[in-house]
Structure 1
Amino acid sequence: MTDLRPTDDLDRGLAALHADVDTDLARIERTRSTLLDAVAHAPVRQRAPRRRWLLAAAAALALVAGGSIYLTTLAGGSAEAKSSLEGAAQQITSVSDPVVPPGQYRYLGSHTWTYGFTEIPGGGLEYLEEHTTETWIPANIRGTWYRRETTTGRHQWIKGSDELAKKYGITFDRKSTTTHAACGAFDGGGGACAADGSWQDPSLAWLSGLPKDPDALYERLKQDAPRNERGETELLVYAQDALRTGMLPADTRATLYRALGDLDDLQITDKAANLDGRIGIAYSSDDGSNREEIVIDPHTGAYIGSRQVSTNGPTRGRIEAYTSFINSVAPAPWKAPSK
């Protein structure tokens, strides 16, 4: 069995930030065994003649708290969710954002395990792979940003083996790409310095134009999110898109949390969601097929990650997506957080 204990800069950063969390490796190993058994016996997705990547919650480290890849019971209704989000908003102050000293960098890190499927003669291989994305933002946000995206090479077999993979030329090599761009314009646009922006790519100008009133911000969400079969769930997705960029300042996050309290079907799914050792409250919206969740630390108001859970069909209750998120300070590009 592949060792899934943290390695690399992002994992060391997570470990340093949360060194006080009980890691209890025996419990992790039991959880991992339960996970693999559950996934191995879960319904297999329709096969495709190419390699597919789906974000999966089969991240063993994420499942220590529950010991399963299935979530089935909501913990609180919309009134409780609204009140809880108000409490989280009140925990956010102007000092809730990391203070970046001159010459240092704000560090944004996301940690994901992905589900992979490769068709081979007579069947298919199923496995989990680990991915990380790290971004370093200078104290002067208009300066040069740095980004590293890594497929670590660490994997866990659900169905298959290294021998079979080798036979068919399938490898799990470590792959890392790095880039840098002024003002975070990694895609060739204006980045944080653009005159426009969006929930997926917020710029300083776009952020300054957001309503300061929660009800008005809710209406802005309704205006900007596409009108589709997902209904209000799409609003939570748009909010999540903005939160995971790390660009929302403290006051905007507080207003956004209060705006999300206006969602008619908002629920508390999990009052102790464990994302890589950080515990938060999972707030969710269900479109009838999938439940989107954002996870917030109730003590600091920090956004710490997201999950997507299937709520229909044979995979009902199974987590389909998992990402943990940290926002800290690093001494230099390509370096882990200083604490």
Structure 2
Amino acid sequence: MIDELDEALHDLYPVPGEDAGALRRVRTRVLAEIEERPADRRRRWPRLPLAVAAVLVAVAVVAMALRGSAPPVAMVEVAQTLNTAADAQTRALDGPIPAGSYRYIATHSLHAAYNPGVAGLFGTREETWVPADPSAQWFLLRTDTGERTRLLGTDEQVKGSGLDARSSPERLSGRCGNFYPAAGDPCAAPGNWQSPTAAFLAELPRDPRRLYDRLRTDTKGHGQDRDQEVLVYVTDALRSGLIPADLRAALYRALTYLPPLEISERRVTLDGRAGTALGITAAGKQQEIVIDPVTGAFIGERKRLTEDQDGVPAGTVVGSSTVRYAIVGKPWQRPAS
């Protein structure tokens, strides 16, 4: 049945020639979703010839697509989007940072803050200058953008709570990106998904399935939802701006194994950049990653409530971030706009 099913799926999802594993990943997602459904929701079919069974599966998938409500079809669309983005990143060339120059990474974020009866979104910008030699001095500038969006309470209540207070710019530096030095050699840190080091990145597998398994292992016991936490870890890594192109592609392909992942918005604009949002809904919120499906560029992330929380209504965006990268000649220098 697998050969016939693959042929049917290929008609729905043309597989990029350079990615021999793409169709296998789509098939895995579709069959896994069908298998994980509650027993009372599964259709009990009689034994049929393999070719007939494959056609029935394909017809079911097409019928679900026409109804617009079937998880398998949504998963095929997710896989197509991620694999197209991965293909683009595979073709991308990450040129080396010239000696004496710096990789400039600018992250613009909106964070939610709560006090009894009040809540708001507050903007920050973090700019990092990473030297060509990562064991040298890094530089960080953290600034309050002054952006304020009231989510709950009156303007007077927000002001009275102190949530709208402005913070002063913070300039930090440290070898190997260790801006808060502790005992020991800062360049000997093993690294993790949130603070990836060269050693950590080098030992991550580039095979999508093995990378997905590694994410499952590293996220075990973290977060409120195991699937959502995988997406959070991938987003954390991509936001760092330190992930090489081959690993960015592998991360996108690894996400095709994540069954609940769905396209939550086909075109969303963050900081003037348009992309596709893919998200997982769990624990009262929707966690999204936003990518350019054509270039594969990571644009950012967004978090929305799917249930009322602390007086803030469902549907409210309670966090977002975008990332931009460039090469500059010295610390504290910004790229030309």
**In the alignment, is residue 209 of structure 1 matched against residue 203 of structure 2?**
yes
Cα separation, 2, equivalents of 1:151 and 1:74: 44
Deviations 1:70-95 (A, max 9, x none): xxx99982221011100000001464
**In the alignment, is residue 141 of structure 1 matched against residue 112 of structure 2?**
no
Cα separation, 1, equivalents of 2:200 and 2:133: 18
**Structure 2: 5+ residue runs without aligned partners?**
1-68
Say whether the 8 Å CA contact 2:195–2:240 is kept in structure 1: yes
Determine which of 311, 333, 336 is the counterpart of 1:335: 333
SS in 1 for 2:79: helix
Deviation at 1:103, TM superposition (A): 2.5
1:299 is matched with which residue? 294
Cα separation, 2, equivalents of 1:231 and 1:169: 35
Deviation at 1:191, TM superposition (A): 9.2
Cα separation, 1, equivalents of 2:70 and 2:165: 37
Deviation at 1:134, TM superposition (A): 0.8
Structure with higher Rg: it is 2
Q: 1:151/1:87 Cα in 2 relative to 1: closer, same or farther (>3 Å)?
A: same
SS in 1 for 2:237: helix
Cα separation, 1, equivalents of 2:265 and 2:89: 21
1:256 is matched with which residue? 251
Which structure shows the higher helix fraction? Answer: 2
Deviation at 1:276, TM superposition (A): 0.2
Which segment is superposed worse, 306-315 or 168-177? 168-177
Q: 1:118/1:221 Cα in 2 relative to 1: closer, same or farther (>3 Å)?
A: closer
Cα separation, 1, equivalents of 2:210 and 2:89: 20
Deviation at 1:96, TM superposition (A): 4.2
**In the alignment, is residue 321 of structure 1 matched against residue 319 of structure 2?**
yes
Q: 1:129/1:170 Cα in 2 relative to 1: closer, same or farther (>3 Å)?
A: closer
SS in 1 for 2:226: coil
Say whether the 8 Å CA contact 1:284–1:291 is kept in structure 2: yes
Q: 1:114/1:94 Cα in 2 relative to 1: closer, same or farther (>3 Å)?
A: same
2:110 is matched with which residue? 113
**Structure 1: 5+ residue runs without aligned partners?**
1-72
Alignment of 1:1-339 (within 5 A): 77-93=74-90, 95-97=92-94, 100-117=97-114, 126-156=119-149, 159-161=153-155, 165=159, 172-188=165-181, 193-194=187-188, 196-227=190-221, 229-313=224-308, 315-339=313-337
Q: 1:224/1:289 Cα in 2 relative to 1: closer, same or farther (>3 Å)?
A: same
How many percent of aligned residue pairs carry the same amino acid? 35
What is the count of residue pairs matched by the alignment?
262
Cα separation, 2, equivalents of 1:169 and 1:249: 41
Deviations 1:150-184 (A, max 9, x none): 1134435564447994x888863351111111121
